Amino acid sequence: MSEFFSMGGYAPYVWTSYAVFALTLLADAFTPLLQRRRALRMLRGQLKRQARNATKSRPSGVEDAE
């Protein structure tokens, strides 16, 4: 097992490479998730604002003149 980890003496080079690979792709995999959450959050806020403006602009209790 320790032979596996020491990689014939090249451990720092080999394992750092694998670590860089894993970390970079992990960051790349998580970015779309964060982008999606942000997009949905902004969308929700946008819709809430639109709903609020729609109810505000509707004049309250005004009927056609009778």
CB closer to other proteins out of 29 and 65: 29
Q: Which of 1, 29, 62, 65 binds other proteins (CB under 8 A)?
A: 29
Tokens standing for 35?
A: 């982008």
- The pair of structure tokens assigned to 2 is 């320790």
Count of residues interacting with other proteins (CB under 8 A)? 33
For residue 27 the two structure tokens come to 């960051």
State the maximum Cα–Cα separation within the chain, in Å, rounded to a whole number: 95
**Residue located via tokens 């894993």:** 22
Task: Return residues touching other proteins (CB under 8 A).
Answer: 4, 7-10, 13-14, 16-18, 20-21, 24-25, 27-29, 31-33, 35-36, 39-40, 42-44, 46-48, 50-51, 54
